[in-house]
Structure 1
Amino acid sequence: MSGRDDGRPRVVTLGETMALVRATEIGSLRHAGALALGIGGAESNVAIGLRRLGVDVSWLGRVGDDPLGERVAREIRAEGVDVRCPVDADAPTGLMLKERTTASATAVLYYRAGSAGSRLAPEDIPPGWIEEASLLHVSGITALLSDSARSALSAAIDRAAAAGTTIAFDVNFRSSLAPAGEAGPVLRDLAERADVVFGNAEEIGLLHPGADVEDAAARLRAAGGSELVLKRGSDGAAVFRADRVVEAPALRVDAVDTVGAGDAFVAGYLSGLLEGLSVSERLVRANACGAMACTGPGDWESSPTLRDIARLLGPEGDPVRR
């Protein structure tokens, strides 16, 4: 990994963050009596999660010249993340609506076609921004937003590879952006250019249809990657490496909102990677982050700090603080 002069690991990430409107009660939005306004986006969720874990991190994304864009930039910056946020006067900030249809199910509706975030372009990436980083984190969402966003993502990966910056890629397939048959080859190309790949079983299946996860992991390693991290949700997680497969069980919590848990998991794993933790230790931290992210509403608000994780995993393990 490359590093900065101050010796601290630095992560850069780019993608769309939208305004988020969510119902504060269970039931359809058609009957919701109260709504809460926030923000959410896969890459900024990871950035915030990393910052809470003590990692120096920078996020890049376009927003509209509107109050929602100002909210996006302000919220992420308030979490201690370095924000690089071009303002697009010709397109609005994207919006997503989230409803809890039942106590255990969440539905998300996206209004992002033609959004400022989808207009991300290679020229938005500052000189040296990627080259000075230890790690670049990207996701498949950006690749499917638009041709210009895909070009920006590809340019970022090329620059990271040329600089020796570690590349992490979360497949993060969204069927609302493209059908599986169309998205699969695009996501496979990006995964094969990454060092660390994250995904659930369905997403890994998109990369190599018909292959099991172990075979898909071998194909990714043959393309130059080092490890595939399989997210199994309530069944835990596993890392497929050339020499072994490492598994770890999930932590049981009372889930309130599972949206964003995968991003918190990624933040936990990457923070452990940057610290030099073993694969087993990374998985323990990642599973703890994913579990704690489910304990409150919102995409990132419940992402934990290292102190929170220590309390969850430590001998006191009592969820009640006295």
Structure 2
Amino acid sequence: MVSSSNPSVVTFGETMVRLSLPGHAHPALGAPALGIGGAESNVAIAAARLGVDSTWLSVLGDDDFGDLVEREIRGQGVRVLARRDPVAPTGLLVKEFRGGWPSRVRYYRAGSAAAGMTAADVDDTAAAAIAAAGVLHLTGITPALGPGPTAAAHRAIEIARAAGVLVSVDVNYRSSLWSADRARPALLALIRRADVLFAGSDEAALILDRPEPVDDIFRAAADLAAELTRLGPGQVVLKLGRHGALARRDGAIDEVPAYPVTVVDTVGAGDAFVGAYLATLVRGQDVKACLDAGARMGALVCAAPGDWEGVLDWPGSFGPPPDPDRPDLGRAAHPHADDVRR
């Protein structure tokens, strides 16, 4: 059990404007839906939905898209600390649909304001927010953006560790941003400084440089978690898609199944899982409660379109029972096995 005198979550990383293209429509033939998306802000929004004070740190372009991102995140009850870059633009992602289902996410983040972050962007105000938090959360996406964001992430970690603040890292590997060979050493550098580590089973296998398990998922996940704890994190949480999730802490293993939902869009469900897990953790509840909160929140996101919008249904229902004629819609709480962002 972990408790904090200040049960709050601070996240650090890029959020982009999201354009969702209508299914089977060329962009010129249909108006895209406008929204926002970013792993770290998704986590902050989920934590805020559970009533935990949440802060998101980043850099945005000094443009209309930056205004949209900041306004939307603030509107979900999250404190925003984001420098506005007068030259570089806010990043963009495009979510493509086929047959009504998300099929691919394309990023337009090279040269974005957040890609130009440096350690100097973790300024005194950001440092004060980190030092006062219950947990600092980062993902492997940030170092994938370049050396400046990598330095900024490690500066944030230094401040957290000096203040005795828990450091949480989600591997969140994106093959569209970098190769496994390039990613592994940078991700290991984060993992070795983490107190809490989140990963999918495929990401755990990538870090440990071994094949992804396909049989006896929970037993294989327990073995992967044990190996990952040897790298430094005291707590390792593996998100296992439709199978559920598993956590290892102090040598003990806890598991939770996925909540059954009719799946609409899995993107962002893993972030919602993390946000709910961390919000429950900083309130001092046990690992089983953290896993259950994460699985519930992840299921809500799977059951709604968008990257984070489903968290607004907390603590609502999980929708109708799964359709027995559509087994692929049966169970999902966190999406790493099927994540279209790859």
Fold conserved (TM > 0.5)?
yes
Cα 1:295–1:53 change in 2 (3 A) is same
Match for 1:178: what amino acid?
Answer: W
Check whether the contact 1:264–1:290 (CA below 8 A) recurs between aligned residues: yes
Deviation at 1:89, TM superposition (A): 1.1
Check whether the contact 1:218–1:242 (CA below 8 A) recurs between aligned residues: no
Higher-RCO chain (CA-CA 8 Å, sequence separation at least 6): 2
1:35 and 2:43 equivalent? no
Deviation at 1:217, TM superposition (A): 2.8
Number of aligned pairs?
309
What's the counterpart of residue 75 of structure 2?
Answer: 78
What's the counterpart of residue 130 of structure 1?
Answer: 130
Matched position secondary structure for 2:265: coil
> What's the C-alpha RMSD, in Å, of the aligned pairs?
2.0
Deviation at 1:100, TM superposition (A): 1.6
CA distance in 1, matches of 2:312, 2:287: 20
CA distance in 2, matches of 1:62, 1:228: 29
Identify which range, 237-246 or 112-121, moves more after superposition: 237-246
CA distance in 1, matches of 2:129, 2:9: 10
Deviation at 1:290, TM superposition (A): 0.4
Match for 2:69: what amino acid?
Answer: V
Q: How does 1:63-102 map to 2 (within 5 A)?
A: 63-102=60-99
What's the counterpart of residue 177 of structure 1?
Answer: 177
What's the counterpart of residue 240 of structure 1?
Answer: 248
Check whether the contact 1:188–1:208 (CA below 8 A) recurs between aligned residues: no
What's the counterpart of residue 116 of structure 2?
Answer: 119
CA distance in 2, matches of 1:135, 1:265: 15
Identity of aligned residues (%): 44
Matched position secondary structure for 1:189: helix
What's the counterpart of residue 50 of structure 2?
Answer: 53
1:21-56 deviations in whole A, cap 9, x for unaligned? Answer: 002x43354575231111110000111111111010
Check whether the contact 1:21–1:36 (CA below 8 A) recurs between aligned residues: yes
Matched position secondary structure for 2:210: coil
What's the counterpart of residue 327 of structure 2?
Answer: none
Cα 1:67–1:205 change in 2 (3 A) is same
Which segments of 5 or more consecutive residues in structure 2 lack a partner in the other structure? 212-219, 322-342
1:262 and 2:270 equivalent? yes
Which segments of 5 or more consecutive residues in structure 1 lack a partner in the other structure? none
Cα 1:164–1:106 change in 2 (3 A) is same
Identify which range, 275-284 or 57-66, moves more after superposition: 275-284
Deviation at 1:155, TM superposition (A): 0.8
What's the counterpart of residue 298 of structure 2?
Answer: 290
CA distance in 2, matches of 1:240, 1:105: 32
1:274-296 deviations in whole A, cap 9, x for unaligned? Answer: 12222112111111100100122
1:228 and 2:236 equivalent? yes
Matched position secondary structure for 2:315: helix
Deviation at 1:184, TM superposition (A): 0.9
Deviation at 1:183, TM superposition (A): 0.3
1:170-219 deviations in whole A, cap 9, x for unaligned? Answer: 00001111101110111112112101101101111121112864454334
Match for 1:20: what amino acid?
Answer: R
Matched position secondary structure for 1:303: helix
Match for 2:151: what amino acid?
Answer: S
Check whether the contact 1:2–1:164 (CA below 8 A) recurs between aligned residues: no
Check whether the contact 2:238–2:245 (CA below 8 A) recurs between aligned residues: yes
Matched position secondary structure for 2:132: coil
What's the counterpart of residue 15 of structure 1?
Answer: 13
Q: How does 1:306-321 map to 2 (within 5 A)?
A: 306-308=314-316, 311-312=317-318
Match for 1:190: what amino acid?
Answer: L
Check whether the contact 1:192–1:220 (CA below 8 A) recurs between aligned residues: no
Deviation at 1:165, TM superposition (A): 0.2
